[in-house]
Amino acid sequence: MNIQENTSLKPYNTFGIDAKARFFTKVSGLAELKEALLFAEAQTIPILILGGGSNILLTQDFMGLVIKLELKGIKVVEEDSEKVLVSVGAGENWHEFVLYAIAQNWAGIENLSLIPGTVGASPMQNIGAYGVEIQQVFHHLRALNRKTLELETFSAEECQFGYRESVFKHRLKDKYIICEVVFQLSKIPLINISYGAIKDTLVEMKAENPGIKEVSDAVIAIRQSKLPNPSEIGNAGSFFKNPTISESTFEKLKDQFPEIPGYKIEEGIKVPAAWLIDQAGWKGFRRNDIGVHNKQALVLVNFGKGKGKEIQELSQEIQQSVEEKFGIKLSPEVNFI
């Protein structure tokens, strides 16, 4: 195990924040991971596990050990004529795994194309897009208990999935490290093009009988048209979750703001956070080297030398103004470190 000191984390977070780690190491196997945990325990320092760094905001230097998780590997665990169970290392790039699945004609995750980050973060966040969430294709995962250094298996029920939530963000936060995720994918594609602009994009692409590859291509085209590339402008994708409000609250808001969009779900009405932020006047806002993207109000950006603390403060200003205007409290989807 190679441990570096005072390492810049700028290359390891999609916001491009130039915060430093007191100690830094990359691990590609379980033995190395356990060794890194024992090192941190001996030094009595905190640990930060990094995957793709696409859902974090570094607000200051990290005075502990940053472990860059690079556990790789994709293998079929079990299959029949209709479905396949595939095990994927937590350090695999999520989008590359989606493309791999499509190449094998395994369906179920094509709507999740081009989501940044690693496979290990996918169940932690219960990532979702265009009508699909991880919990719909999740079978089980294996995670390392930080205290016992033993691998444990978690079923979908034990993961307690919610909207961009899992037990690993709450009760089991900082207690486990996800090492491997097993997905159940289908060999008989069930095409889901009902959400967002997928159907219209497929028409533009002249895809009359779309398969999973065409759905993936459409999702990629939509995301690239709306979201900035982190390699060009620092960002972490959607910064806030879409809030859910009661039907009665929604009806009252509709009297005041007739154009307000909303989608009925079991818990009430889900309102697009991007619309609320846009209406509060933040879209395209810029202050020095930070701001709000001019095409997608849900995305906060670092134009170069912005600091994490500045982006955090901007997010708080946005929350306050949206709450003042609509009475709705936005919750960050990004994790503040």
83 Cβ contact partners less than 8 Å away, ≥ 6 residues apart: 184, 185, 186, 187
> Looking at the annotation, which residues are catalytic?
164, 238, 333
**The two three-digit tokens of residue 81, written as one number:** 């004529």
Burial 281-318 (b: 16+ CB within 10 A, else e): ebbebeeeebbbbeebbbbbbbeeebbbebbbebbeeb
272 Cβ contact partners less than 8 Å away, ≥ 6 residues apart: 242, 261
**The two three-digit tokens of residue 224, written as one number:** 């690239």
In three-state secondary structure terms, 220 is helix
CA–CA dist 188, 165 (Å, integer): 29
Strands 62-69 and 20-27: parallel
Helical ranges in the chain per DSSP H? 30-43, 94-103, 121-125, 156-159, 198-204, 212-226, 247-256, 273-279, 308-326
- CA geometry: angle 93, 97, 100, nearest 5 deg: 140
12 dihedral zone (left: phi>0; alpha: psi -120 to 50; beta): alpha
